[in-house]
Structure 1
Amino acid sequence: MPKTVCIVGAGPSGLVAAKSLLHDAPRGTFDVTLFDAQTRIGGLWPSHRDDASGLVHPRMVANQSKHTVQFSDLAWPDDAPQLPRAWQVGQYLARYLQTYCSEANLNLGCRVEKAEPLQSSSRDGSGLGWRVQARTLQGEVSEQTFDYLLVASGFFGKPAHPSISLGDVKIPVLHSSQYRDLQSLLKNPESPGGKILVVGGQMSGVEIAGTIASHLSSAANSPGPSPIANPGKYSIHHIIQRPVWVLPLHTSPKPTSSAPPFLPLDLGSYNLANRAHPLANSQGHISLEAAKILHSIYQTVLGTDQSIFAPAVAVSTADTDNPPYLAVSDHYMDFVRSGLISVSRGKLQALSGREATVSPSNEKISDVAAVVLATGFEAASSISFLPESVQETLALNPKDLNNTVALAFHGTYHPDVPNLGFVGFYRSPYWGVMEMQARFLAALWAAGGPSSPSLPASLRNALEQDSSIERTVRLRSDPRASQFPMGDYPWLMQEFAAALGLEISSPLGPMPRLPPAGREMNILTPARYPAKSATELQQAETAKSLRQTEGTAWAGLTSARFLARAVFRSLLGEWKLERELRSKLPSHPSGHFSGTAKFLLREGTRDGREAEFDGDEGDGEPGLEYLYVEEGDFTAANGLSFRATRRYVWRYDERKDRLSVWFVRTDDQMRADYLFHEVEFVVPKEAHPEQDSGGETGKGWEATAGHLCVDDFYDVRYLFNFKAVNLWDWRLAYAVKGPKKDYTIDGVYSR
């Protein structure tokens, strides 16, 4: 007779738990029932592009690529973006449910309110199953009994709010998970402007500050009416407690190359060829020596200590004594450099009227228009349905946001409550680890529990050597605890695989070699650990996923794939421009232009390309673009000087991975008119991975373009010089020839 399992939560953790119980254990071992308080599956992840019911904005871009944001046996469609939006992740989960969880009993709009252990002689009453009480949205209460209870309700139980004095605050104050747009944040349409205060300097703080800055920039620099009044009079003031390394979504596996290639950041981060084996845990307690090494690695990846953006975000030598913190954002740092985001170090101490006080400096921040709290989440509400005795056993500590629950074997169970399991109950829920946790519980319960003589030897050895509970409790008071103390992703995957007797699969074919050791890339993804019992369908999906990952790595290292995006990202802000014009004809004067060029980020417009989006069944979103504004003085060779300006629109098309430049309309210079040219990058010899040394030539990325304007042909040449991930300076030259034109323009852009 099947063992019955109640799963609380139908997000990624709950769905992969259901799949593992139904498919990884022998068929018929478990009968699975899922409950979720929401009327849809997905948990944090919205189900469609306009779904605002969850804690994640539906159009948010994932900060890991589709190669990591997936399970081992369901590949993304080949045309899915490398970095999916949140609503696309929700659609992936819908496919996963349909493919693997159709046999589960799914109860949506049904909240589990109470779970009580059945009679047992143990103190916490954990031995004989669970009585689960659930309530529908209509108020109907049902009660069922189960052999096992699996908590997949998520670490993000509810937003955490700091304990500060709010005084007579009358401005909007909301949590970062509640932010959707400027209109809902700045509710007073007559607001004169001011500072949007973002509190919290880790992942969510950096991401939400960058997001709001993007929205402000778009509101101020887009054609048509603005969604808010006076968008140019707002700025962002970000309060952080310590400097954070901010990585863009694409980094380079060859950061010292003069023409660095780019890949989604997780493909480089999870390259097992860069680590000694067997893997040692790089998270948890971070020694002084380890901290300095990690800081050095991040500085190499970025090519800077971040002082080029602003002193407040620089990681000083003194800062490198402390464990490093990471965040991911494409635009945050350049918005800091541009001044749209200003940064203060400290803690928000008080808020009164429109003034905030930062401790310990006692800095006063005036003219605050709204406050966004990026202060994390507390998970206590996610297990509030458990009895107090069980919560005591789990050593629940609501004030500790890193290690809310003390659980054995990397966050999966407690030996005193063996028929209670957890999946995804930790920060940074990498999907591969969630799947491993689910497999672990399926194997543990199928064998009869941790004390069963039927446990496989690998599982028994893993349990005997496990010290996760002690480690978790110890790290709660450790001043040198890492940002994500549960453990680093590759190490956790290794530990789970060893316990389950799984071997990492080999790549499907040869992989690119990288300096300095010249080793082949060995990229960790969930698909590298297929289930032993995988069906033909699962094996086909795993192989498809591996082909996608390996193809992406080869494309990034042997072509200009992702380079257009890296250039586009790094253009944001203001550049110093010096340009020489040399004409062979007297009708066009020679001379020198000196001024600035601003790349003003905004939401993509359809202008000039309406047909591309009419009837589009894909994402349907134009992405991002820049309004390019050039201003300065032109001094002709004859001494005549005058003020000069010009505008273009620069666009990045993610589907085509293409950078393009468009003329603006003469009657509305905020709008694009028609295509000037598309940028074609020239792949240098050093981009080929068989040259393990990196093939330094001293030359950056070259690109070409051409444009025929009536009878005049514009031959365009670019040279982009990167320092690791950041565009350091670049050149744009034109050779224009036609019946009445014969001149060259050579411009140098520098910060």
Structure 2
Amino acid sequence: MAPAPKSVAVVGAGPAGLATAKYLLAAGLRPVVFEPKSHVGGLWAPPSASDAIDTIQLDPRMTVNTSKYTSFFSDYFPESVAALPDRPVAREMGEYLKGYAATFIPPELLRLETLVTGVEKRVEGGWKVRFKGIASNKMENEEDFEFLVLATGVFSHTYTPKIAAADSFEGKMLHVSDYDGEKLFSGKKKPRKVVVVGGELSGSEAAADVALRVSSLPEEEREKIEVIQVFPRPPWVLPKLGAIPDPQVQGAPKLLAIDQGFYDTPSIVNSPPAKDPKEKYRRLHKTLIGIKGGDQSDISPALGVSPEWRDKPLSLGLSDSYIGFAKSGAIKTILGRVVGVKGQRGLEIVTVKEGEESRALEDVDLVIWATGYTPLRTLSRILSPGLKTAFGADENSCPAVLTRALYKQTLHPALGPTGAFVGIQRRPYFAMFELQARWIAGLFTGKIIFPSLNDFEDVAKGEAHLLAIGKIDEVMIHAGGGGDYIEFLRQIGKIIGIDDVFKYGLEMNCRPRPWIPAHLPPFPDAGSPRSQHSLAAQSALENQINSESTSPSLISRHIFAQLHGHWTINRHIVSRLPGFPSGIFTGTAIFQPRLSTFSSPLLAGQSCTTGHTVLPPDTNRYTMGNEITEYLYSETGTLTTETGFSFQGSRKYIYTLDPDKGIMSTWFVKPADGVSVDYFFHRIEIGRKPEKLENEWGCRWGVEKEGGVKAASEHLCERDWYWPGYRFEYEGPRLKRFWIRYRVQGPQKEYVTEAEYTRG
């Protein structure tokens, strides 16, 4: 009779725990997965009334920060996944993880609604795990296991740094996970001064969300509210869609999810190893300067990643609207650290660039801590006192204390050869979880040698010691700013016998060639043929890059985001009727973002001459981090006629985006209030070429020049026909300028007007 498989307790059924269980099973072990929630999926699990456990839960509508190709596993890409948008929402991620568990993990090995209350090493070897059922409030039980994997995740609880006199603050302080912008800004009493602390992902999203809600208020209320963001180092705030030049059309973009452009396989493979972290950081900063088209100093001084920051770890934010708000001053930025409370509503800040000087922010109503998450509260609850002492961290410690103490972010001498961490990294990249799980499977089955005591002691002595003795790899795998992802893949791949973890990325039939988890070699035999799921994911991404990256829908979304802010206008008017003068209009235009004020069944393919019903907005659609879908457009300036007369003029429109269909449209504003929608004007049909007018009207129209992205439409407005034409011209990743032309024909009108917009 064959011996029973060795048992492994896996704590946590998020993506890290599920991947671990899958690979342990494939290695011949018997994992038992403990999860206090009623569903698998961790952060992405659907909320349930029986989830009586204090951990973070995502809004089911919230979009994932990385594309689906980075956020899915190497060998699970069913047809239902291929049909999802490039950035799924949390609900869709939860369904994906549910399907992954059903495919690879027998249900009897999943102990849902079971809270682990303690783990400790047994004298005779292995682990004792204590647990209790949540739904039935059962008494605590215990069970012995030969191995233990802690996959509790890094996002299980909020982290807020301790500051002096925090209890004396009479305003409101909350973590970004508790932020409800709708509730805060819909009542009569709104916060007048809001301070967002933190500059990375949730910091940029929270600051942008507050700014959008303020921008949506009436002008008299808007002017009374101040939004301030404080961060200790300038964050690179990246758009969710990255633009690279389209090789087929000058001045037009090719669009990719930002993570796809960042992990181009040839760039990874052809880059020589950095000699130390500082060189690595300089390379990463250089890459980001190329992606952003500059160092952000033109946005605000605090956001400028000047040379003195470029040998330090990166700070990364992600938002399509943040840069526009920061550039306009709607978000005021301060490079510094919040160190304490002063008085009843003041914050003491130590500035970073001004010689560590102290300054105060007075009359603060709301502080939003966007300072991240920590696994330490969960671990402090379940680890024995001896283990907690060995890790040198308690639940109030900075989360980085734990990851710096681990060998290759996975192992610790206090756990010994029978215990490990999976998924303790700050970035939820699924490929990291898979490689950790494969490594652990090899360790627990004795196929891979456990690191030596000297290896652990060297890590404990810190970076300077590791550099002095030449252990560059161990330093690089802990290097911050997200650059550790590639180093982690390379190093763990070699440990588990994959000499070139990036080779399948080079087989991509597209440009660029992003490395994704589907490029991981098969397990346990890395030389066996790749699975159909792996090949399907690669094929879908190739198609997206080759065909969909220049699709009208994607281009519309990117152009719409780029419109945000101030533009300078130079408009030429050529009229054939004496009652409508020809001339030149010069002035400024503002695309002011706001929450959607209405909706309309504007369908692709619907005639622009068809009436469009105006409906109330879909208030359930918007969540923090989503795209802006509406602008109030305002322009003011001077019209100088051919006869020398000058007139002051202004006009307003509403621009909207349907993000699902990628359709932009323009609407008239009610003259009575100057802000509400009146009726439909026209749709902006990307890819439709404007009509040729040069010979007929004798002008050199900017819309008709070669290059850029072109659009056109037509619309019968009461008795007048309008034929709009557009051309959008990119320079690198940014929309540099654009032209809007209208040919108008009616009983009292016959003219052409074309405006050139350049950044003001």
Structure 1 and Structure 2 fold alike (TM over 0.5):
yes
Q: 1:394 to 1:367 in 2, by over 3 A?
A: closer
Q: Secondary structure at the match of 2:334?
A: strand
- Larger CA deviation: 166-175 vs 52-61: 52-61
| Alignment correspondent of 1:573 | 565
Q: Distance in 1 between matches of 2:688 and 2:48?
A: 36
Question: Is 1:371 aligned to 2:403, yes or no?
Answer: no
Kept in 2, the 8 Å contact 1:608–1:674? The answer is no
Q: 1:477 to 1:61 in 2, by over 3 A?
A: farther
Give the gaps of 5 or more residues in structure 2: 351-355, 468-474, 605-612, 691-704
Percentage identity across paired residues of the two chains? 27
Q: 1:423 to 1:293 in 2, by over 3 A?
A: closer
Per-residue CA shift, 1:365-385, capped at 9, x if unaligned? 223120001122333223221
Kept in 2, the 8 Å contact 1:409–1:467? The answer is no
Q: Distance in 2 between matches of 1:167 and 1:610?
A: 51
Q: 1:38 to 1:235 in 2, by over 3 A?
A: farther
Q: Secondary structure at the match of 2:40?
A: coil
Kept in 2, the 8 Å contact 1:132–1:146? The answer is no
Kept in 1, the 8 Å contact 2:191–2:366? The answer is no
| Alignment correspondent of 1:5 | 8
| Alignment correspondent of 2:580 | 588
Q: Distance in 1 between matches of 2:133 and 2:554?
A: 48
Per-residue CA shift, 1:418-474, capped at 9, x if unaligned? 1112110121121111121112212322x23xxxxxx2xxx44x9579957734752
Q: Secondary structure at the match of 2:296?
A: coil
Q: 1:261 to 1:472 in 2, by over 3 A?
A: farther
| Alignment correspondent of 1:226 | none
| Alignment correspondent of 1:224 | none
Q: Distance in 2 between matches of 1:657 and 1:20?
A: 40
- Shift, 1:402, TM fit: 2.2
Q: Secondary structure at the match of 1:660?
A: strand
Q: 1:648 to 1:230 in 2, by over 3 A?
A: same
- Shift, 1:649, TM fit: 2.6
| Alignment correspondent of 1:319 | 309
Q: Secondary structure at the match of 2:650?
A: strand
Per-residue CA shift, 1:452-506, capped at 9, x if unaligned? xxx2xxx44x957995773475249999998627863233223333333346564
Q: Secondary structure at the match of 1:177?
A: helix
Q: 1:366 to 1:510 in 2, by over 3 A?
A: closer
- Shift, 1:153, TM fit: 0.6
Question: Is 1:564 aligned to 2:556, yes or no?
Answer: yes
| Alignment correspondent of 2:157 | 158
Give the gaps of 5 or more residues in structure 1: 121-126, 222-228, 449-454, 514-520, 685-696
Q: Distance in 2 between matches of 1:211 and 1:205?
A: 10
Q: Distance in 2 between matches of 1:716 and 1:573?
A: 22
Q: Distance in 1 between matches of 2:598 and 2:185?
A: 27
- Give runs of aligned pairs for residues 433-472 of structure 1, distance below 5 A: 433-445=432-444, 447-448=445-446, 455=447, 459-460=448-449, 463=451, 467=455, 470-471=458-459
- Give runs of aligned pairs for residues 339-738 of structure 1, distance below 5 A: 339-351=329-341, 352-359=343-350, 360-384=356-380, 385-396=382-393, 399-405=397-403, 406-412=405-411, 414=413, 417-445=416-444, 447-448=445-446, 455=447, 459-460=448-449, 463=451, 467=455, 470-471=458-459, 474-475=462-463, 484=480, 488-502=484-498, 506=504, 511-513=509-511, 521-532=512-523, 539-555=531-547, 562-604=554-596, 606-609=598-601, 624-637=628-641, 638=643, 641-664=646-669, 669-671=675-677, 673-674=679-680, 676-681=682-687, 699-709=707-717, 712-738=720-746
1:275 alignment partner, one of 268, 271, 278: 268
- Larger CA deviation: 146-155 vs 627-636: 627-636
Per-residue CA shift, 1:271-329, capped at 9, x if unaligned? 111134587479xx522x44443322211211122122222212223333434332222
Kept in 1, the 8 Å contact 2:664–2:685? The answer is yes
- Give runs of aligned pairs for residues 79-158 of structure 1, distance below 5 A: 79-120=83-124, 127-140=125-138, 141-158=140-157
Q: Secondary structure at the match of 1:727?
A: strand
TM-score normalised by structure 1 residue count? 0.83
- Shift, 1:698, TM fit: 8.8
Q: 1:596 to 1:9 in 2, by over 3 A?
A: same
Q: Distance in 1 between matches of 2:463 and 2:37?
A: 34
Q: Secondary structure at the match of 1:2?
A: coil
Q: Distance in 1 between matches of 2:635 and 2:257?
A: 35
Q: Distance in 1 between matches of 2:408 and 2:678?
A: 57
2:103 alignment partner AA: T
1:680 alignment partner AA: I
- For the aligned residue pairs, the C-alpha RMSD in angstroms reads 3.9
Q: Distance in 1 between matches of 2:681 and 2:88?
A: 27
Q: 1:212 to 1:37 in 2, by over 3 A?
A: farther
Q: Distance in 2 between matches of 1:656 and 1:704?
A: 17
Q: 1:71 to 1:128 in 2, by over 3 A?
A: same
Per-residue CA shift, 1:617-660, capped at 9, x if unaligned? 9x977964223322314435255555433333322333333333
TM-score normalised by structure 2 residue count? 0.82
Q: Secondary structure at the match of 2:43?
A: coil
Question: Is 1:332 aligned to 2:322, yes or no?
Answer: yes
Q: Secondary structure at the match of 2:310?
A: helix
| Alignment correspondent of 1:303 | 293
Kept in 2, the 8 Å contact 1:45–1:58? The answer is yes
Question: Is 1:171 aligned to 2:162, yes or no?
Answer: no
Q: Distance in 2 between matches of 1:651 and 1:370?
A: 31
Q: Secondary structure at the match of 1:411?
A: coil
Q: Secondary structure at the match of 1:170?
A: coil
Kept in 2, the 8 Å contact 1:250–1:566? The answer is yes
Q: Distance in 2 between matches of 1:472 and 1:258?
A: 52
- Shift, 1:246, TM fit: 1.4
Q: Distance in 2 between matches of 1:331 and 1:476?
A: 40
Q: Distance in 1 between matches of 2:427 and 2:6?
A: 31
- Shift, 1:69, TM fit: 0.9
Q: Distance in 2 between matches of 1:345 and 1:647?
A: 37
| Alignment correspondent of 1:181 | 181
